[in-house]
Every structure is written in structure tokens, then in C-alpha cells.
């Protein structure tokens, strides 16, 4: 039976099950569950950081890559002056950005300075960048890193697209020096302009080298956008997995010890997929200290993935020591000198990501990977013996289970599982038939996750080892290239219901959504951040955190999840039907407290849920409610 026929059978069963309304909630049978079912990836891919979480407003601010044809300018910058020469090279000034280690991994064109030569005295020369979203009255922090061969005045202006209207300006006096000069200042535009421009100009016949340029909103949080941090906190992450994902195979953790402007850009091994929106480079705006600060701000446990292919075991152990070592250890002292005396106590570590897949560098076979992973684990455990490790591989796969998972079981108890789903035939909404088919395909695909996890559980159990599933990447495929919708929000609700109901039975304590920032749960524009339909569902479902899961029976389609916290019972309900209402009746004794409904008339791209009170009939012995099509409800009550 092929995948298409299986999916049709599963969909028919799911649709049939929608008619059931006799679910039973047993509040006397309740058990705890892992808080890490509410985990998220924070990976430096696509627009999650560059153009997402990062507050940095300038594109290619460290001048990575090759220069433009004939002009010699870095990508995203435009020339100013008819007789101006641009060079991207080390030349007489050297390069300001650099790497601390991993030279053996160095990609090409990561490190450059941008040189500008004004060839005519009195000519206005320089460079600029357009599409800078400016907000009136909002202060921005700017920083320039420069060297010059003659004294000159550098004017920095925020203007309209064509440089005719000046919204704010600042002038720097620069003189020749053997060192790079760092200038910091503040500019506040007097006008809103979503297509604003920043211009760096001078009139002296001289040359200037830009080592790095920076522009951030003053209200940033450790270089991150405060509004995005706010929305990340709103969806209730209990664990954040960082810096990848795939990006873990490109990351050089020690570069994060450099000032942010000095950190060399990191070229992606697979630039089209990993960094397609930033010319194949990540600019290392977030380091270990910033990540830990973010975790503490949003209430998440930090989970770090090492660069298993390129980090030596010693380098990985040094990263552990930086995070967990006492101030009298070599790297714990470095952390303390940077202002963080108390250890970060990072307990969870992944030994690489998707090893054994063709797109990741490093060993491709289970035995070779297991040998490498054990070397890494041994070195890291010597520094911090209480670490929890997760191994990687193309699971579920019997060869990898037997020769990697089982071989590593004594030291590495968690096994990574990834899955991306979607409707067969793609996303189409231009007819009612297409819309229904797409919606039912999105929601129906969720069932494959439990099937995959069950297959994985069976293989792991056959080893006789105590091994846990870490379902640490799940989402709709290509969610990062497509606007979210209510259909995907219902899919997310279905997935969370399934994971909550199955987490203990499948010994699957970690479940991690890929990924919230800019790629599914949080929609980010240059000036605002908001929750998508997926994010709205996470913000609702987090109400189950820190509670006991009640036993739910006669519910084969995962429409109901119930949790108990003290004497407060919380029930979330799901109607996946495209165009039919669904009633729910529960024999429960208690006092009604509150209810909420997430509903929408639209399931297509760019749609969101509307929130309203859910109408509930609560008597002394019974609770009744009706959910409209494709909606999610919540009921809270005090029970006896």
C-alpha cells in the first residue's frame, strides 16, 4: 500500500471519528508529563535570526561574499558618487572581522572590509543602503568601525530613498590610525519611512575602509528585538534548541567570545537552504551569553547542539566548561570575566544534527558516527558529569538503532527524530474544492507523526536499552517559505494533542517545534511582530504546563486533552472538521470558571484565529459545548 492510499484511509477514519462525542475524562487517573513537550528550535537558518529575532537593521553589515559586478560593493549596498572606487579586499587596512578557531573549516569570502575611494576633492562619495524601516521618534543606536588614510568628516544620515529628505544626521571626525576606530552614536528620525535609507558620505579626496557597520533599535534585548522576545515568551517555550539544526554544523562557538562586530560571518555549507535570505551567510549576531539571557527571559531550559563534524572533543568540552565551569576553571574564568560569574548549568546537549543525511558534513554511517559521538560525550562528561545527551541519525532506521543508538545507550539516552509533513499536491486555495482538499491534507497529515514515533519506539525497545525519543523537529514542510494559516493552526493543535496524550506511552519526553521565530509561530515584519495561527495555538495550549494529564477514553482522534492542577481541571477541545460543528459532552461535577474559543471563517493563507468566549452549558453533573468547524476550545472548572 502506497503512502497516498494510507493517507486516504487515515483521513476517512479521522473524518468518521469526528462524529464521536462520548469522550470520558477520568480525573482520578492523572499523571505528570515532561515539560519539554513544549520545546522549540531556535536555529540560525533562513530568517529566524537574520531579519527575525536579531534587532540588527543593516543587511550584510560585515561585507561577506563577493563584490557586485563592476562596482566592487558588497551585496545590499549602493554607490554614491560618479567618480568613486569600491574595493572588497584586505588591502592596506586588513580585515576587522575574524575567527578564533576552526580555520580548517573556513569557507571562502567570509572575511572582508569594504574600501571606498573618493577620487575627486569636493565630490560627495560613499555608500548607502535602502529599505531601512524608520519609525518617527524611535531612537536607534549606530556604530561604525572605520580606518582612513587622510583626515575626513564622515556624515551618517537617515533619509528618504533618494537622499533628498534628511530625517536625522551625525558627523564623525576621522583621522589616520594603525587601529580600527569605533564610534557609537544615536539617531532619531523625525518621520516614518518604511523605505528609508542610511547614507555614509564624505567629500575629501581620500579613502575609508569600513570594517563593520551597525544599526539597532535602542530598546533591543541583547541585540534581539524586544517585540519578538515578547512573542516568544507568549508561546511558553520550556526548552530552546540552539544554534541548530543544520546550522550547528557551521557554527563556531568561540567566535561568540568576540565583540559582536568582530565575529566573522559564517558561510553555510548548504547556502541555498540554510541561509537563502542573507546571501548564504550568518553574521553571528547571537552568541552563547545572548542565548542564555534569552532562555532566562522567556523561561526556557537551554539546549545546545555541538558542531560534531568540526569541533574536536576538546573544543566541545571547552564549550561545556564555559557554560558550566566554576570561575576558577579556564573557561569558567573567561565567562566570569565577561560578567557572568554564576555557571549557566546547561544540562542538555545534542551531539550533532541529522548526521548520516547527505546534507550534513561528517560521518555518514552509524558506526562511524557512534565512534565520533562517544569521543565527544566522553570529553564533555569529564567537565560536567550530569549532562544529558541526544544523538542524531536518519531515524527510524534499524541499522542506526542497532549500531548507533544501542551502542551509545549508556552515555546517550535520547535519540533524535525529525519529521515534516504536508498535504499531497501542495497548497491550493483558488476554489472551494481546492481549499477543502488542502485543509484536510494539512490536518490529516498529523497522524503520521504518531505512526512514526511508534515505529521508532518499537525499534528502540527491541534493543533492550533504556532509550528516550526526542522528537525535536516537527512542522509542516516549507513552513519557512509560506505564510501561515488557520489550517496549519489546527494541524498544530492536533499535533500538540497527540504529543500530550502519547508522550508517556511512547517515552517521548522532548518534543520540539521547528521553528517559531519567523518560520511558523511568530510573524515578523521590519516594524512589528505578532503570533500566527500556530503561535496562537501554542499560547493557548501552554495552559496545560505543570499539570497532571488526565486519562481520556473513547477518543480515538485526539480531540480532547484534560489536565489537572490542584482542583482546577483544564480541557482543550479540537474540531478538525472543515465545515461541520461538533458537540462535546462530559459527565463532570464541578464549578465552571472560564472558557475560550479560537475560531475563524477562513483557513487559507494569511488567516488568523479570532478569540472569544466559548459557550458552555454546565450543570451539576454535565458539561456541554459545541465547537464550530476548524476551531479549538478551552474550558476550565473547579472539580470536587
* pLDDT 10s digits, 204-259: 999 999 999 999 999 999 999 999 999 999 999 999 999 999 999 999 999 999 99
In the predicted structure, residue 272 carries a pLDDT above the cut 80: no
| pLDDT value of residue 1 | 36
For residue 196, give the 3-state DSSP assignment. Answer: strand
- Enter the C-alpha cell of residue 97: 572581522
In the predicted structure, residue 7 carries a pLDDT above the cut 90: no
Q: Are 625 and 566 a contacting pair, CB within 8 Å?
A: no
| pLDDT value of residue 638 | 95
Q: Please tell me the total number of residues recorded for the chain in this structure.
A: 640
Query: Which of 16-25, 73-82, 103-112, 410-419 has the least mean pLDDT?
Result: 16-25
| pLDDT value of residue 230 | 98
Taking alpha carbons only, the member of 333, 282, 364, 290 closest to residue 49 is 282
Residues 6+ apart with CB under 8 A from 248: 43, 305, 306, 307, 308, 350, 352, 353
Residues 6+ apart with CB under 8 A from 611: 536, 596, 597, 598
- Enter the C-alpha cell of residue 460: 528502540
* Chain position carrying cell 450543570: 619
* pLDDT 10s digits, 534-550: 999 999 999 999 999 99
In the predicted structure, residue 377 carries a pLDDT above the cut 80: yes
| pLDDT value of residue 92 | 87
**pLDDT classification of 108: cutoffs 50, 70, 90:** confident
**pLDDT classification of 271: cutoffs 50, 70, 90:** low
* pLDDT 10s digits, 170-185: 999 999 999 999 999 9
List, in order of start, the domains of the chain with CATH numbers: 3-31+550-639 (2.60.40.1180), 35-55+222-243+286-545 (3.20.20.80), 78-217 (2.60.120.260)
Q: Are 226 and 219 a contacting pair, CB within 8 Å?
A: yes
In the predicted structure, residue 16 carries a pLDDT above the cut 60: no
* pLDDT 10s digits, 27-54: 999 999 999 999 999 999 999 999 999 9
| pLDDT value of residue 91 | 80
Query: Which of 96-110, 405-419, 594-608 has the least mean pLDDT?
Result: 96-110
Question: Phi/psi at 447 (nearest 5 deg)?
Answer: -60, -25
| pLDDT value of residue 152 | 98
Query: How does DSSP assign 464-530, residue by residue?
Result: TS--EEEEEEEEETTGGGS--BHHHHHHHHHHHHHHHHHTTTTT--EEEES--BTTTSEEE-SS-EE
In the predicted structure, residue 17 carries a pLDDT above the cut 70: no
* pLDDT 10s digits, 547-574: 999 999 998 899 999 999 999 999 999 9
* pLDDT 10s digits, 425-465: 999 999 999 999 999 999 999 999 999 999 999 999 999 99
In the predicted structure, residue 396 carries a pLDDT above the cut 50: yes
Rounded to whole angstroms, the Cα distance separating 605 from 83 reads: 48
- Residues of 514-544 as b/e, b for ≥16 C-beta within 10 angstroms? bbbbbbbbbbbeeeebebbbbbbbbbbbbbb
In the predicted structure, residue 113 carries a pLDDT above the cut 70: yes
Q: Are 206 and 197 a contacting pair, CB within 8 Å?
A: no
**pLDDT classification of 13: cutoffs 50, 70, 90:** very low
Rounded to whole angstroms, the Cα distance separating 133 from 151 reads: 32
Task: Name the average pLDDT for the chain.
Answer: 94
* pLDDT 10s digits, 285-328: 999 999 999 999 999 999 999 999 999 999 999 999 999 999 99
Amino acid at each position: 500500500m502506497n503512502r497516498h492510499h494510507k493517507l486516504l484511509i487515515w483521513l476517512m477514519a479521522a473524518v468518521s471519528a469526528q462524529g464521536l462525542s462520548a469522550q470520558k475524562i477520568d480525573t482520578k487517573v492523572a499523571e505528570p508529563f515532561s515539560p519539554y513537550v513544549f520545546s522549540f528550535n531556535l536555529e540560525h537558518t533562513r530568517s529566524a535570526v537574520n531579519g527575525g529575532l536579531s534587532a540588527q537593521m543593516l543587511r550584510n553589515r560585515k561585507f561577506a561574499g563577493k563584490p557586485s559586478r563592476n562596482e566592487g560593493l558588497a551585496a545590499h549596498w549602493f554607490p554614491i558618487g560618479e567618480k568613486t572606487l569600491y574595493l572588497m579586499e584586505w588591502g592596506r587596512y586588513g580585515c576587522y572581522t575574524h575567527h578564533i578557531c576552526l580555520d580548517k573549516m573556513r569557507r571562502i569570502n567570509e572575511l572582508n572590509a569594504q574600501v571606498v575611494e573618493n577620487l575627486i576633492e569636493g565630490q560627495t562619495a560613499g555608500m548607502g543602503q535602502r529599505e531601512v524601516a524608520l519609525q518617527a521618534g524611535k531612537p536607534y543606536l549606530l556604530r561604525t568601525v572605520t580606518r582612513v588614510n587622510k583626515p575626513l568628516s564622515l556624515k551618517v544620515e537617515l533619509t528618504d530613498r533618494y537622499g533628498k529628505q534628511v530625517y536625522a544626521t551625525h558627523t564623525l571626525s576621522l583621522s589616520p590610525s594603525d587601529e580600527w576606530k569605533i564610534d557609537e552614536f544615536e539617531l532619531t528620525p523625525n518621520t516614518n519611512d518604511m523605505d528609508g535609507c542610511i547614507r555614509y558620505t564624505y567629500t575629501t579626496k581620500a579613502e575609508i575602509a569600513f570594517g563593520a557597520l551597525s544599526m539597532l533599535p535602542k530598546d533591543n534585548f541583547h541585540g534581539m528585538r524586544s517585540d519578538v522576545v515578547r512573542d516568544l515568551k507568549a508561546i511558553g517555550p520550556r526548552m530552546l534548541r540552539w544554534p541548530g539544526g543544520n546550522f550547528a554544523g557551521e557554527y563556531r562557538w568561540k567566535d561568540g567570545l568576540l565583540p559582536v562586530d568582530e565575529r566573522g560571518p559564517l558561510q553555510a555549507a548548504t547556502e541555498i537552504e540554510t541561509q537563502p535570505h542573507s546571501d548564504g551567510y550568518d553574521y553571528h549576531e547571537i552568541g552563547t551569553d545572548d542565548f542564555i539571557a534569552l532562555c532566562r527571559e522567556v523561561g526556557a531550559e537551554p539546549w545546545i547542539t555541538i558542531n560534531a563534524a568540526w569541533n574536536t572533543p576538546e573544543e566541545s568540552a571547552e564549550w561545556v566548561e564555559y557554560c558550566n565551569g566554576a570561575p576558577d576553571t579556564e573557561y569558567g574564568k573567561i565567562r566570569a570575566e565577561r560578567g557572568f560569574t554564576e555557571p549557566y548549568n546547561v544540562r542538555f546537549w545534542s551531539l550533532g544534527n541529522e548526521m548520516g543525511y547527505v546534507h550534513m558534513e561528517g560521518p555518514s554511517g552509524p558506526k562511524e558516527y557512534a565512534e565520533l559521538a562517544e569521543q565527544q560525550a566522553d570529553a564533555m562528561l569529564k567537565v560536567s558529569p550530569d549532562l544529558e545527551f541526544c544523538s542524531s541519525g536518519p531515524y527510524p532506521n534499524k541499522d542506526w538503532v542497532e549500531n548507533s543508538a544501542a551502542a551509545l545507550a549508556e552515555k546517550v539516552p535520547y535519540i533524535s527524530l525529525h519529521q515534516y509533513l504536508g498535504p499531497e499536491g501542495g497548497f491550493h486555495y483558488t476554489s472551494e474544492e481546492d481549499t477543502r482538499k488542502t485543509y484536510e491534507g494539512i490536518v490529516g497529515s498529523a497522524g503520521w507523526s504518531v505512526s512514526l514515533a511508534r515505529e521508532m519506539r518499537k525499534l528502540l525497545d527491541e534493543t533492550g536499552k533504556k532509550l528516550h525519543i526526542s522528537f525535536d523537529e516537527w512542522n509542516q514542510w516549507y513552513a519557512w517559505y509560506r505564510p501561515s494559516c488557520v489550517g496549519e493552526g489546527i494541524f498544530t493543535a492536533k499535533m500538540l494533542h497527540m504529543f500530550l496524550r502519547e508522550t508517556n506511552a511512547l517515552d517521548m519526553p522532548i518534543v520540539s517545534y521547528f521553528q517559531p521565530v519567523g518560520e511558523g509561530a511568530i510573524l515578523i515584519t521590519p516594524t512589528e511582530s505578532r503570533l500566527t495561527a500556530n503561535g496562537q495555538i501554542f499560547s493557548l495550549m501552554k495552559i496545560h504546563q505543570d499539570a497532571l494529564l488526565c486519562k481520556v477514553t473513547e477518543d480515538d482522534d485526539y480531540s480532547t486533552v484534560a489536565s489537572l492542577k490542584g482542583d482546577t481541571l483544564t480541557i482543550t477541545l479540537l474540531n478538525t472538521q472543515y465545515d461541520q460543528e461538533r458537540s462535546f459532552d462530559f459527565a463532570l461535577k464541578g464549578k465552571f470558571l472560564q472558557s475560550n474559543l479560537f475560531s475563524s471563517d477562513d483557513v487559507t493563507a494569511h488567516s488568523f484565529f479570532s478569540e472569544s468566549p466559548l459557550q458552555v452549558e454546565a450543570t451539576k453533573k454535565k458539561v456541554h459545548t459545541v465547537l464550530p468547524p476548524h476551531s479549538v476550545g478551552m474550558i476550565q472548572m473547579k472539580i470536587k
